[in-house]
Amino acid sequence: MKERDAAARDLIRTRLAQSREELRTLLDPPPRPLISREGSARGLGGFPRSRTMQMLMSGRGLGTVGALAGGLLIARPALALRLLRLVPASAVAKMLMAKAVSALKSKPPNGG
């Protein structure tokens, strides 16, 4: 009886190990190349480093942030302006300029 219980436990442990490994492969993202599609290096000093900031800086993320900022500006303008003072303007300006330049570079030429 004990041998059968031990065999059942071993089988359960191997199944658990397999399922854990499957979960790790699903939840851990694959390693990214050092050069992104914009051409900037995303190494140790690249911006943004966190997944949350990368999501927010994507097209959909920026749209969401813009909608939230617009709603906050309409609902509570004093709070929105106070929060706007905390944002580093030079960093935002550099980011917007880089996005504009990359958008102009990726635009196909008008050929007719």
66 and 24, same structural domain? no
101 and 59, same structural domain? yes
Spatial separation of the C-alpha atoms in residues 27 and 32, rounded to whole Å? 15
List pLDDT tens digits, range 3-16. Answer: 889 999 999 999 99
Residue 69 lies in a domain: yes
**Residue type present at position 80:** A
List pLDDT tens digits, range 17-63. Answer: 999 998 888 887 666 665 555 544 444 556 777 888 777 777 787 78
Residue 43 lies in a domain: no
92 and 59, same structural domain? yes
Residue 68 lies in a domain: yes
23 and 64, same structural domain? no
Residue 110 lies in a domain: no
Count of all residues that appear for the chain in the document? 112
Q: Nearest Cα to 84, choosing from 98, 93, 73, 100? A: 73
Spatial separation of the C-alpha atoms in residues 71 and 62, rounded to whole Å? 14
99 and 62, same structural domain? yes
User: Which domain, by its residues, includes 101?
Assistant: 53-105
pTM of the model: 0.37
Residue 66 lies in a domain: yes
Domain count, the chain: 2
